[in-house]
Amino acid sequence: MVLPDVDFTEPFRICPGAKVALRDVAADDTAGIEDKGETKKRLRRHAKRLADLQYLLYAENRRALLVILQAMDAGGKDGTIRRVMGPLNPQSCRVTSFKGPTEEELAHDFLWRIHRAVPRRGEIGIFNRSHYEDVLIVRVRNLVPKSVWSARYEQINAFEKILADNDVHILKFFLHISKDEQLRRLKKRLSEPNKQWKANPQDFEERKRWDDYTAAYEEAIRRCSTDWAPWYVIPANQKWFRNLAVMQIVVEKLKGLRMKYPKPSFDVSKLRLK
């Protein structure tokens, strides 16, 4: 028996202006779903839907989808991309990882490198980190004055509104893990040889600023969750549930676009092949 889908869109969506207290969000939450075997079936079903919807998005060529992933270190951004976006055709799907800005990027406004990576019509773009780093790490590490980063919330909202007005649909996911779960994952990176390459001493330094990053995320999500670019806080301690929730929200968004295949530019009935 196939269980019906669970609505993840509304429970995890942050309403514009709503207060965000991450300490009150259970990172272990699985929305009452406990059967991992059934979850695997759901994921396979959604993966097929997602691939079909991507093909339709590409064929229609009228709009784009931008998926933004943010999380604390070891929060599961890479795993989400691998598990959720893995079924997608790379011909019309592009992943962009934003590291520290280059010298050229620093010579422009903070949104310059972001705008260059926005997907074109017909494509799905996935950001591993994003322009939100400029109100997160920049704020926590005092890389620019408060007068600079505090003005960026409205600049980000205006930027995302421009994208939305030009048929770029935006979904923003904060993958919410607990501090204990982060410690477990960081230790695992050190103990397993095939994961040691992911270990970064800076991650352990940033962990000391957990409360500062939490406050920065809460303000960014509160001030930048809009009708045209909503934030979703996804409980992510359980990787299988994280993957299910993100994939289902992406599928529902694409389904809601009510896309249609374009009509052929010629009379198909008159075409004869020999």
* Low-confidence winner among 100-104, 169-173, 180-184, 195-199 (lowest mean pLDDT): 195-199
User: Is there a domain that residue 141 lies in?
Assistant: yes
Cα 11–17–18 angle (5° rounding)? 40
Q: Is there a domain that residue 234 lies in?
A: yes
**Domain for residue 272, yes or no?**
no
Domain limits for position 105: 12-259
Q: At residue 240, what are phi and psi to the nearest 5 degrees? A: -60, -40
Whole-model pTM? 0.94
109: helix, strand or coil: coil
Q: Per DSSP, which regions of the chain are E strands?
A: 13-14, 64-71, 93-97, 124-128, 168-176, 231-235
Domain assignment of residue 29, yes or no: yes
E-strand ranges in 177-250 read 231-235
Give domain status of residue 264, yes or no. no
Asked if residue 229 lies in contact with residue 169, where contact means CB atoms within 8 angstroms, the answer is no
Domain membership flag for residue 242: yes
- Please report the pLDDT score of residue 41 as a whole number: 87
252 phi and psi angles, rounded to 5 deg = -65, -35
- Here the tokens at position 180 are 């204990």
Query: Has residue 269 got a pLDDT over 80?
Result: no
Q: Residue 198 is part of a domain; what is its CATH number?
A: 3.40.50.300
User: How many percent of the chain have pLDDT more than 90?
Assistant: 81
Residue at 67 is within a domain: yes
Residue 136 structure tokens:
């997160």
| Model confidence pLDDT, tens digit, residues 222-257 | 999 999 999 999 999 999 999 999 999 999 999 999
**Structure tokens, 238:** 């359980």
Number of domains into which the chain is organized: 1
- 1 pLDDT band, cuts 50/70/90, is very low
Is 27:233 a contact under the CB 8 Å cutoff?
no
Tokens, residue 189:
């990176």
In angstroms, rounded to a whole number, what is the distance separating the alpha carbons of residues 116 and 185?
33
Q: Is 26 exposed, middle or buried (0-12, 13-18, 19+ CB in 10 A)?
A: exposed
Residues in the chain: 274
